[in-house]
Amino acid sequence: MLAALVTVGLLAAVLLGLIWSQQRRLIYFPWPDRLPAASSVLTGSQEVVLPTEDGIHLGGWFLPAQGSSPAAPAVLVCNGNGGNRALRAPLAAALSRAGLSVLLFDYRGYGGNLGRPSEDGLAADARAAQAWLAARPEVDPGRIAYFGESLGAAVALRLAVERPPAALLLRSPFTSLTDVARLHYPWLPVKWLLSDRYGSAARVAQLTVPLLVIAGERDQIVPAALSRRLYDAASAPKRFVLVPGADHNDAALLNGSQTVDEIQRFLAQTAVLAAPGQAG
């Protein structure tokens, strides 16, 4: 009996050790292949390179606002944990038509970039993207919004605390990666296993800018209730939008009419799309 218990314990320890060592493979799902030319995916966009503080050069696409004057408002898009920037092209096109310049970029390890993704690595990547965008002569640095989806919402929130934007837009955000992992792996001691925790609930109280949270009613990966918990912990001004019937990866949460309209309406009420002196 004792021998059997020891064997089970050893097997459990080996399994947990394996999961711990491979955990980032369960968090990050990059498409590492190089992307096609920007203009073939997103008409009017430009290929850009974003240097990070630790020496990695990230690929990105910059799409100027349509019909705008110099020094236009802009949106920095922080992707979720899967795919690459090409998947976010429809959102960029919709935002450009609304009068916003857009920067899409891929994190380290994604879209042909060197490096391996990690929580601190993605934070450095977001800082590099923000610095590049704010320095563009055709962008008004005082009217930049950050948009983050899912895991990218945690990246955008951390950036917003460090370098406050004019507004923060979060789609399917979560309170922490630990809370998400508990939902999907209730049999694992995720609190002790996770190295990258993305503790957004602990950061959102420090947020000082207008916040829009968009959640899918039927999100099976980040339930709307988890997004609502993060929203409830934030200070006003803020707005919560629930997209009926939408699951995590549905087009309705990418460039659906309700999602784009809510973003545009929210930014029109802030210093981003509002004329100077007319934000409210």
> Got the DSSP string for 211-263?
EEEEEETT-SSS-HHHHHHHHHTSPSSEEEEEETT--TT-GGGTT-HHHHHHH
> Which of the following is catalytic: 106, 125, 140, 219?
219
Is 61:132 a contact under the CB 8 Å cutoff?
no
Task: Compute, in degrees rounded to 10, the torsion defined by CA atoms 223, 228, 229, 230.
Answer: 100
Query: Is 248 one of the catalytic residues?
Result: yes
* Residue from 135, 138, 112, 110 nearest 44 by CA: 138
Measured distance CA(267)–CA(2) in Å, rounded: 64
**CB atoms inside a 10 Å sphere around CB 11:** 10
* DSSP 8-class letter at 54: T
Is 222:172 a contact under the CB 8 Å cutoff?
yes
> Which of the following is catalytic: 101, 140, 179, 248?
248
> Which of the following is catalytic: 45, 96, 101, 150?
150
Query: Is 118 one of the catalytic residues?
Result: no
Query: Is 68 one of the catalytic residues?
Result: no
Helix or strand or coil: residue 82?
strand
Q: Is 251 exposed, middle or buried, given 0-12, 13-18 or 19+ CB atoms closer than 10 A?
A: exposed
Distances (CA, A) of 117 to 48, 85, 113, 270: 20, 15, 10, 33
Write out the catalytic residue numbers: 150, 219, 248
